[in-house]
């Protein structure tokens, strides 16, 4: 199946409805691997799909470009977009692969590229495709070193690679056809899990591209942005500077319910202020993919772990290890949890918070076995203070 985008551009990608695991990212709504054909005097394929779907891609290319391809543009070497390249280059041996030097180097370490015709492009280079032009902009570390985007000025169309992408399988190819609440949530999840660590390069890429006249953005995943392009750009600007919302997250693991009771009371304390949104997350029932999305824009959070085998609960450690890699910025936080004969769980959790660079709101809040009334009162107060910190962070960011 293909879809016309503009006079000369068509979508020829693959919708991966059943995929639920993308190198550890839980893709609850599946994904798409978007590829595009541009037909002018020359015919160009922009990006490819995962290797198993090469036949589907080539079938789609043939349906919109029966006379073959002159160029294949590779914006990004990650295998979800380059996996099908060996099959494409074999099917179109006369086509020239167009990419930057870093990307070609990366491709050569994934595939046997020895027989491929190639053309290296650099920042701002253009390619005349016969009545239309492709212009290339390097966007290093947004989110791989070789990442770049391709601009079609005559159509004011940007092939944005992973930027503005969403893991979202749908019959909708355009933002105007999709459930926008779902699309924006998946775009946020995508940013939190894929781009967050590279917020600065992503912001630099946005700044660089902001001078272009763009009506349509074709990302490598999810829907194509048209009418709702200004909204996704505004969201990216907020995420890129880690702008905190008036929001508190209380995330916990539990063994026999004691740490859960503490978490519920902390959340209750935060809600009592009436100034912030509160998310209470049982890590035993929640994917890390979703946890990171919620943490990304909170102003403050608390993380709870009981002590197991003289240390942190492994389920909590897993989340904190994942979050540590993505480095959400500028959060106020504290750790809490119950213990039996050594309070190492909450202490280890606090160690992670320190590694994130969090501002530690208070020492670990712990209790031996089940929380008594005094402990629950302390949890309530700690939650209320966390709400105040989140509200202050959001107010400060708004100034």
| Cβ proximity to ligand FEO, 220 vs 289, nearer residue | 220
Active site residue 221: yes
Which of 78, 294, 297, 388 forms a contact with ligand FEO (CB under 6 A)? 78
Residues 305, 313: contact at Cβ < 8 Å? yes
Task: Tell me: does residue 80 bind ligand FEO (CB under 6 A).
Answer: yes
Q: Is 50 in the site for ligand FEO (CB under 6 A)?
A: no
| 110 counts as catalytic | no
Scanning 75-83, 225-233, 242-250, 280-288 for contacts with ligand FEO by CB under 6 A, the matching segment is 75-83
Give me the least distance between CB of 162 and ligand FEO, in Å please. 4
Residues 279 and 281: their CA atoms lie apart, in Å, by: 6
Tell me, yes or no, if 167 is annotated catalytic.
no
Between CA 88 and CA 82 the distance in angstroms is 10
Is 81 an active-site residue?
Answer: no
User: Is 190 designated active site?
Assistant: yes
- 220 sits near ligand FEO (criterion: CB under 6 A): yes
Question: For 61, what's the count of Cα atoms within 13 Å in the CB-facing half-sphere?
Answer: 31
- CA gap 351, 361 in Å, rounded: 13
Q: Token digits for 82? A: 């380059």
Q: How many angstroms separate the Cα of 338 from the Cα of each of 192, 301, 331, 341?
A: 30, 18, 23, 10
Q: Which of 16, 47, 70, 78 is catalytic?
A: 78
Taking CB under 6 A as the criterion, the residue among 42, 81, 132, 265 binding ligand FEO is 81
The whole-angstrom distance between residue 9's C-alpha and the CA centroid of its chain comes to 26
Nearest to 303 by CA among 256, 363, 258, 263: 263
Identify the residue whose tokens are 């160009």.
44
* Among 42, 221, 246, 273, interactor with ligand FEO by CB under 6 A: 221
Q: Which stretch binds ligand FEO (CB under 6 A): 52-60, 77-85, 184-192, 270-278?
A: 77-85
> Are the C-beta atoms of residues 54 and 87 closer than 8 Å to each other?
yes
Indicate which residue of 14, 25, 71, 76 is catalytic.
76
Residue of 47, 70, 162, 294 that binds ligand FEO (CB under 6 A): 162
Active site residues per annotation = 23, 76, 78, 80, 143, 162, 190, 221
């Amino acid at each position: 199946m293909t879809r016309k985008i503009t006079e000369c551009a068509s979508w020829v990608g693959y919708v991966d409805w059943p995929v639920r695991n993308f190198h550890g990212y839980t893709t609850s709504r599946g994904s798409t691997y978007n590829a595009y054909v541009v037909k002018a005097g020359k015919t160009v394929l922009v990006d490819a799909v995962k290797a198993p779907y090469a036949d589907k891609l080539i079938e789609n290319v043939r349906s919109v470009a029966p006379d073959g391809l002159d160029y294949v543009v590779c914006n990004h070497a990650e295998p979800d977009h380059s996996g099908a390249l060996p099959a494409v280059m074999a099917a179109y041996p006369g086509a020239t692969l167009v990419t930057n030097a870093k990307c070609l180097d990366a491709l050569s370490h994934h595939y046997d590229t020895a027989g491929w015709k190639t053309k290296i492009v650099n920042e701002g280079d253009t390619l005349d495709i016969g009545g239309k032009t492709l212009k290339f902009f390097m966007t290093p570390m947004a989110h791989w070193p070789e990442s770049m985007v391709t601009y079609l000025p005559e159509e004011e169309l940007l092939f944005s690679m992973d930027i503005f992408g969403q893991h979202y399988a749908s019959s909708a190819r355009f933002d105007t056809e999709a459930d926008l609440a779902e699309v924006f949530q998946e775009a946020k999840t995508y940013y939190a899990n894929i781009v967050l660590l590279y917020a600065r390069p992503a912001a630099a890429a946005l700044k660089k591209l902001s001078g272009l006249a763009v009506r349509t953005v074709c990302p490598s995943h999810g829907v194509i942005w048209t009418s709702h392009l200004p909204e996704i750009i505004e969201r990216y600007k907020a995420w890129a500077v880690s702008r905190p919302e008036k929001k508190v997250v209380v995330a916990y693991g539990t063994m026999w319910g004691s740490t859960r009771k503490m978490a519920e009371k902390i959340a209750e304390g935060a809600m009592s202020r009436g100034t912030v949104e509160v998310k209470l997350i049982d890590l035993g029932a929640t994917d890390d993919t979703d946890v990171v999305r919620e943490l990304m824009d909170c102003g403050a959070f608390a993380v709870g772990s009981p002590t197991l085998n003289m240390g942190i609960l492994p389920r909590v450690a897993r989340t904190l290890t994942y979050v540590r890699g993505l480095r959400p910025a500028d959060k106020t936080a504290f750790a809490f949890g119950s213990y039996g004969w050594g309070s190492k769980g909450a202490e280890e959790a606090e160690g992670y918070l320190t590694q994130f660079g969090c501002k530690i709101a208070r020492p670990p809040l712990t209790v031996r076995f089940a929380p008594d009334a005094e402990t629950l009162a302390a949890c309530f107060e700690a939650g209320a203070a966390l709400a105040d910190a989140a509200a202050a962070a959001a107010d400060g960011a708004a100034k």
